[in-house]
């Protein structure tokens, strides 16, 4: 997988080198987003995109209905857009048709959903024709896929109460996609009464789309934010450049094990996530009655954690507005409350994509710093002057984070 991410990072580095010819500050957010699009397309779907150079690629075009959630500044409109995407992903096509007739609502994203259905079908055909093993996320899901036709009445019955704790047993659901079986009542009975060792095709497509939604904006935004911070803290940038150069070849490629050992690089990423958490808050539901410091929280109550406020609280983070990566060093890890950092969440519901996101960021940083450096310019906003867009979804600054890009001279 790292080789695939390296190839995507090469495209990002080449793009930044070309942008360095301009003497003006550049908003790098679109280019870091293109990098994460390339990574998801290749690692999850096995598709080579190069989104920065090919913005009209079918994969990019059909991803937009699921990713374009922040076009409106109005909270209400944003919320409706999010609900619409959830309905596109989760509701069966027949239900969407009925829903649309009653509420005069169309699901324009269905064309894009069909694109991802066809993508899965194409990979299925390739696997039937060629036994060569692919390492992308979609192929791994398909390797664990079952056909609905193989689910029979003598399968494991939910009412038996058997094997329900077996993590290899998955309930069979029909998610938001068309299905070749027209007898919906029969399918409903199958889904209601059986468990199946594997994923249905509809679940494979659903997981792939969720992979796209969850992994796109957050990682790209974090990379943009780190480049912005490095422009304001050149001494940290040079230290990071020196450390990554020691373990990389002339093209900026790093050995996986050496990359994981580079603590300072990880500290820089975590400190960036502390200052710019992807989500402003997290919600959890209490699964039992509990009292915390005299406050009673009944079962099923929604508890909201203000992540941004918590990670900028001087009670937990001295001089919280400063970029200080050493906060997360092994020497200092016992000096702060682990639950005061929630950019990846915590507990059983923590971000399951953390390892991939961290690998993407580490590879991209090592590769780009080998080729370019980032400097603040006249149009680079100061941190204390940053303002943020209102509404649900990811934290986004009102103004673009522009930096000057300077090509490094060959040593």
Predicted pLDDT of residue 210: 77
Taken as a whole, the chain contains a residue count of 411
Looking at the structure, tell me whether residues 205 and 170 fall in a common domain. Answer: yes
Pairing relation of β-strands 290-292 and 302-306?
Answer: unpaired
Q: Cα separation of 51 and 311, whole Å?
A: 33
Q: Which structural domain, as residue segments, surrounds residue 207?
A: 75-211
Lowest model confidence (mean pLDDT) among 3-17, 66-80, 146-160, 310-324: 146-160
Predicted pLDDT of residue 107: 47
Give me 389's structure tokens: 């867009």
pLDDT tens digits, residue range 96-121? 555 555 444 444 456 777 888 888 78
State the alpha helices, DSSP H only, in 306-353: 307-311
Q: Cα separation of 180 and 147, whole Å?
A: 11
According to the 3-state scheme, what is the secondary structure of 47-67? CCCCCCCCCCCHHHHHHHHHH
Residue 65 covered by a domain: no
Give me 274's structure tokens: 């502390």
- Is the confidence at residue 18, as pLDDT, over 90? yes
Among 143, 178, 211, where does a domain finish? 211
406 contacts 375 by C-beta, under 8 angstroms: yes
Lowest model confidence (mean pLDDT) among 29-43, 122-136, 255-269, 291-305: 122-136
99 contacts 87 by C-beta, under 8 angstroms: yes
Looking at the structure, tell me whether residues 79 and 202 fall in a common domain. Answer: yes
Give me 385's structure tokens: 């002057």
Predicted pLDDT of residue 255: 87
Looking at the structure, tell me whether residues 201 and 90 fall in a common domain. Answer: yes
Looking at the structure, tell me whether residues 48 and 94 fall in a common domain. Answer: no
Looking at the structure, tell me whether residues 306 and 205 fall in a common domain. Answer: no
Residue 104 covered by a domain: yes
Q: Where is pLDDT greater, at 175 or 282?
A: 282
Q: Cα separation of 32 and 12, whole Å?
A: 7
State the chain's mean pLDDT as an integer: 78
307 contacts 280 by C-beta, under 8 angstroms: yes
Residue 295 covered by a domain: yes
Q: Specify which residues 254 forms β-bridges with.
A: 248
- Number of domains observed in the structure of the chain: 2
Collapsing DSSP to helix, strand or coil, 171 comes out as strand
Q: Cα separation of 139 and 42, whole Å?
A: 11
What's the distance, CA 120 to chain centroid? Answer: 20
Among candidate residues 370, 57, 52, the one with its CA nearest the CA of residue 241: 370
Predicted pLDDT of residue 316: 94
13 contacts 367 by C-beta, under 8 angstroms: yes
Give me 31's structure tokens: 């280019």
Mean per-residue pLDDT, 389-395? 78
What sign does the dihedral 221-45-78-393 (CA atoms) show? negative
Among 184, 211, 238, where does a domain finish? 211
Mean per-residue pLDDT, 159-173? 37
**Contact partners, residue 244, CB within 8 Å, separation at least 6:** 252, 254, 262, 265, 365, 366, 369, 370
Q: Cα separation of 326 and 263, whole Å?
A: 10
Percent of the chain with pLDDT over 70: 72
Residue 163 covered by a domain: yes
Mean per-residue pLDDT, 308-328? 96
Looking at the structure, tell me whether residues 367 and 394 fall in a common domain. Answer: yes
Residue 246 covered by a domain: yes
pLDDT tens digits, residue range 116-155? 888 878 877 776 676 555 666 667 777 776 654 454 444 4
Residue 312 covered by a domain: yes
Predicted pLDDT of residue 232: 97
Any idea what the CATH number is for the domain that residue 400 is in? 1.10.630.10
Q: Cα separation of 230 and 240, whole Å?
A: 9
pLDDT tens digits, residue range 352-366? 888 889 999 999 999
Q: Cα separation of 395 and 307, whole Å?
A: 11
Is 351 among the annotated ligand-binding positions?
yes
Collapsing DSSP to helix, strand or coil, 98 comes out as helix
Q: Is 337 left (phi over 0), alpha (psi -120 to 50) or beta?
A: beta
Predicted pLDDT of residue 310: 95
Biggest CA-to-CA distance, the chain: 71
Looking at the structure, tell me whether residues 40 and 119 fall in a common domain. Answer: no
Among 211, 236, 271, where does a domain finish? 211
Looking at the structure, tell me whether residues 159 and 256 fall in a common domain. Answer: no
- Is the confidence at residue 174, as pLDDT, over 60? no
Considering 94-103, 181-190, 326-335, the range whose residues carry the highest mean pLDDT is 326-335
Residue 63 covered by a domain: no
286 contacts 293 by C-beta, under 8 angstroms: no
Looking at the structure, tell me whether residues 147 and 252 fall in a common domain. Answer: no
What single DSSP character describes residue 10?
Answer: H
- Is the confidence at residue 66, as pLDDT, over 90? no
Looking at the structure, tell me whether residues 235 and 364 fall in a common domain. Answer: yes
Residue 60 covered by a domain: no
Q: Cα separation of 124 and 114, whole Å?
A: 15
Give me 194's structure tokens: 């059986």
Predicted pLDDT of residue 86: 56
Q: Cα separation of 53 and 38, whole Å?
A: 11
Give me 195's structure tokens: 């468990």
Among candidate residues 36, 379, 4, 7, the one with its CA nearest the CA of residue 221: 36
Looking at the structure, tell me whether residues 136 and 244 fall in a common domain. Answer: no
Looking at the structure, tell me whether residues 161 and 116 fall in a common domain. Answer: yes
Predicted pLDDT of residue 411: 54
Predicted pLDDT of residue 31: 94
């Amino acid at each position: 997988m790292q080789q695939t991410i390296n190839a995507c990072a090469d495209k990002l580095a080449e793009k930044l080198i070309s942008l360095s010819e301009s003497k003006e500050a550049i908003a790098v957010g679109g280019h870091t987003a293109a990098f994460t699009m390339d990574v998801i397309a290749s690692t999850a779907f096995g598709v080579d995109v190069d989104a920065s150079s090919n913005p009209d690629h079918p994969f990019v075009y059909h991803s937009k209905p699921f990713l374009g959630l922040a076009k409106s500044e109005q909270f209400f409109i944003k919320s409706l857009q999010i609900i619409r995407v959830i309905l596109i992903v989760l509701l069966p096509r027949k239900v969407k048709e009925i829903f649309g007739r009653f509420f005069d609502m169309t699901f324009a994203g269905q064309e894009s959903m069909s694109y991802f259905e066809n993508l899965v079908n194409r990979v299925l055909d390739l696997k039937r024709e060629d036994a060569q093993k692919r390492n992308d996320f979609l192929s791994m899901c398909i390797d664990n896929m079952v056909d609905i036709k193989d689910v029979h009445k003598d399968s494991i019955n939910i009412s038996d109460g058997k094997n329900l704790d077996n993590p290899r047993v998955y309930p069979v659901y029909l998610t938001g996609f068309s299905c070749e079986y027209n007898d919906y009542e029969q399918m409903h009975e199958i889904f209601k009464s059986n468990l199946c060792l594997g994923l249905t095709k509809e679940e494979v497509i659903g997981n792939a789309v969720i992979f796209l939604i969850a992994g796109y904006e957050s990682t790209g935004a974090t990379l943009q934010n780190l480049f912005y911070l490095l422009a304001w803290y050149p001494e940290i940038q040079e230290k990071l450049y020196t450390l990554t150069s020691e373990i990389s070849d002339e093209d900026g490629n790093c050995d996986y094990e050496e990359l994981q050992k580079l603590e300072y690089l990880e500290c820089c990423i975590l400190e960036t996530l502390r200052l710019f958490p992807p989500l402003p808050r997290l919600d959890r539901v209490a699964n039992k009655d509990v009292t915390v410091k005299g406050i009673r929280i009944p079962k099923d109550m929604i508890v909201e954690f203000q992540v941004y406020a918590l990670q900028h609280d001087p009670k937990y983070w001295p001089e919280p507005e400063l970029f200080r990566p050493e906060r997360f060093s092994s020497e200092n890890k016992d000096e702060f409350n682990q639950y005061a950092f929630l950019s990846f969440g915590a507990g059983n519901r923590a971000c399951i994509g953390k390892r991939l996101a961290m690998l993407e960021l580490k590879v991209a940083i090592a590769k780009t710093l080998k080729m370019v450096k980032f400097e603040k310019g006249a149009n680079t906003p100061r941190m204390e002057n940053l303002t943020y867009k209102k509404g649900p979804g990811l934290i986004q600054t009102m103004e673009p984070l522009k930096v000057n890009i300077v090509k490094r001279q060959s040593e």
